[in-house]
């Protein structure tokens, strides 16, 4: 089975661990009082790819942990919390992703009844080079999580040409 490292980033309480749990119900979460302090980890197969999912801590004081966990990632998923306004913590995530030069998807997480952010994702973050897709869904209910997984595999499979792309192609093509 071909492998890929997928790292989930986002500010505190955005829904990263909830998303990982939704994708892999038996995933582990190293947490304290519900907040991830080290990582979430789970893996599953999707469309011929073995996705190793690493959730990171969102709290600013654990930023170093995020940076370490993210090292060597093939693709990132940014869980953007639509229940709160886009703020400086989100801007820091965007900076981190831009500096990582990694292809990434935004999962705009809608928590029913508490939507504070209504601007479109591209209004909030522009169109950074690494941005490969936007999925609006719910980490808890699982709404559009299958589409997110499809998009992850699309990124992994469509990277022809560059050195890194070839590596990813090797990882996920079936033949
Ligand atoms: N209703 C609803 N609640 C959600 C959803 N996603 C997350 N939550 C809630 O939001 C809170 C935070 O979710 P977590 O998944 O722990 O957030 P996190 O991003 O892992 O947070 P840190 O580990 O602190 O960075 C929890 O109470 C979740 O139940 C969602 O899609 N819908
Ligand atoms: Mg968490």
83 lines ligand 1 (CB under 6 A): no
CA–CA dist 85, 71 (Å, integer): 28
Confidence of residue 2 (pLDDT cuts 50, 70, 90): confident
Which pLDDT tens digit goes with each residue over 53-105?
A: 999 999 999 999 999 999 999 999 999 999 999 999 999 999 999 999 999 99
> Of 65, 135, 137, 77, which Cα lies nearest the Cα of 102?
77
Tell the CATH topology of 2-172.
Rossmann fold (3.40.50)
C-alpha dihedral sign at 19, 24, 28, 34: positive
Which pLDDT tens digit goes with each residue over 128-146?
A: 999 999 999 999 999 999 9
63 lines ligand 1 (CB under 6 A): no
* C-alpha of residue 57 to centroid of ligand 1, in Å: 12
* C-alpha of residue 13 to centroid of ligand 1, in Å: 5
CA–CA dist 164, 62 (Å, integer): 28
From the CA of 144, the nearest ligand is 1
Q: What residue spans of 36-126 are helical by DSSP H?
A: 63-70, 88-100, 121-125
Which pLDDT tens digit goes with each residue over 4-26?
A: 999 999 999 999 999 999 999 99
Q: What are phi and psi of 158, to 5 degrees?
A: -95, 5
């Amino acid at each position: 089975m071909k492998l890929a490292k997928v790292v989930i980033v986002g500010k505190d309480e955005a829904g990263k661990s909830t998303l990982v749990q939704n994708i892999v119900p038996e995933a582990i979460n190293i947490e304290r009082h519900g907040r991830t302090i080290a990582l979430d980890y789970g893996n599953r197969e999707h469309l011929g790819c073995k996705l190793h999912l690493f959730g990171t801590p969102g709290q600013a004081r654990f930023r170093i942990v995020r940076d370490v966990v993210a090292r060597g990632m093939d693709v990132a998923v940014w869980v953007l919390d639509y229940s709160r306004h886009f703020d400086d913590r989100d801007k820091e995530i965007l900076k981190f992703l831009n500096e990582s030069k990694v292809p990434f998807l935004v999962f705009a997480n809608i928590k029913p009844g508490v939507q504070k952010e209504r601007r479109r994702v591209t209004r909030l973050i522009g169109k950074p080079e690494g941005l490969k897709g936007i999925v609006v869904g719910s980490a808890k209910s699982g709404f559009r999580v299958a589409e997110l997984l499809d998009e992850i595999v699309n990124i992994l499979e469509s990277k022809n040409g560059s050195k890194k792309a070839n590596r990813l192609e090797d990882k996920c093509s079936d033949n």
